[in-house]
Amino acid sequence: MKTAALFAGIGGLELGLHQAGHQTMMTCEIWEPAVEVLAHRFPLVTNNLDVTALKSLPARTELLTAGFPCQDLSQAGMTAGIDGRRSGLVGHVFRLLDRRRVPVVVLENVPFMLQLDKGAAMDLLTKAFEERGYRWAYRTVNSLAFLPQRRERVFFVASCSDLDPSNVLFVDDVSHPVRKTALNTRAHGFYWTEGTRGLGWAPDAIPTLKNGSTVGIPSPPAILLPNGRIIKPDIRDAERLQGFEANWTVAAPERLRWSLVGNAVSVPVAAWLGKRLNRPGHYDVGRDRPWPLKCGSFPRAARHDGVSRYAVEVGAFPLWRKREPLHQFLRYDGTPLSARATAGFLSRAEASTLRFAEGFLDAVRAHLELMCREETSVRAATSGRRRAKAAILIAAE
């Protein structure tokens, strides 16, 4: 299908759809670092900077995509809701649909929107599509199905054509395989900035990559390697953990690359969706469940057939792609977690009531001791070089 992409970011959704054979005709993205990446990676595609100034979509548009801003919807953000300054921009999706009725629409956002304001955001979205004669379906999908990153996002498909969104989103479903791991055989990801109320613990994977700060303060996870070292992954591996090639964001300022990658759509999830848009399956209505009339949130998966709403019993894993262990997946040397950062995490963890994997805190203590020794050696060597240089200067005088 010929695609127009709103809130395109660095093109994760577009790249995945392209891999499935779809053609991006237009993007719309206003954040300059993301615009630089789009210009570098999609040089033949016209980008419109401001969605609020966009008059209409290209005449041949068959698929409209929108990974609209999540800052007002995420649990980590301001949770201002669907009417927040940023997330409220989704209203322009419907403004543009009212000007040109696009057959298929794909939206992507954080799962917290299902429960924010008791489902108010999803209620607004679903009713807006229903009022315009669209059938819809959505599903919470975990990127861990494709890559060693645990990342849940809601993918929403609406259609006013013969395409039934249920035949796209719900046909593929597998049980999450139980994977046995041990600290000395597999890498384990966690957030070193946490440790009081949560950890983001991920066996043989990393927790969700965050967008960090728009002013350039990155928020990478930590990875405990089987050899006991704790590192922060290289940005190039972070790109690969989202399904991009290494250096996908090299055109952007270095300090903002973590934000760009953390905001992106996981490429292989988009590619799976794109393939199912090309070749829909057949949805088994036996998965339908009664719509929850009184509920503080929307179900994790649901559909509307044009008449009624149904919750859908389906998991977050459309498939399970075989992959090498995380520590072998990583291609680039990460940055060792500093003694200061390690000590801060350890103090929070020891003061908390959290339960940790057996041996984890011992591994953190061992890493702390190692970093203290290494950093002391570096300081001593630096001091020695300074003294030697000073002696040379004195002798020269």
Short-list 215, 214, 209, CA closest to 244: 209
Strands 230-232 and 288-289: unpaired
Question: What do you get for the CA distance between the two ends of the chain, in Å?
Answer: 76
Question: Does residue 372 carry a catalytic annotation?
Answer: no
Please check whether residue 127 is in contact with residue 82, taking contact to mean a CB–CB distance below 8 angstroms. no
Report the alpha-carbon distance of residue 251 to residue 296 in Å, rounded. Answer: 43
Helix (H) or strand (E) holding 1: none
Strands 2-6 and 63-66: parallel
3-state SS class at 159:
strand
Residue 369, amino acid: E
Chain centroid to Cα 223, Å, comes to 18
Residue 53, amino acid: A
At residue 154, what are phi and psi to the nearest 5 degrees? -95, 125
Report the alpha-carbon distance of residue 305 to residue 31 in Å, rounded. Answer: 36
CB atoms within 10 A of CB 195: 22
Q: Which residues contact 366 (CB under 8 A, 6 or more apart)?
A: 228
Report the alpha-carbon distance of residue 138 to residue 126 in Å, rounded. Answer: 10
Beta strands in 291-392 (DSSP E): 301-304, 309-312, 335-336
Catalytic annotation, pick one of 70, 160, 295, 372: 70
Report the alpha-carbon distance of residue 397 to residue 395 in Å, rounded. Answer: 5
Residue 396, amino acid: A
Q: Where in the sequence numbering do the catalytic residues fall?
A: 70
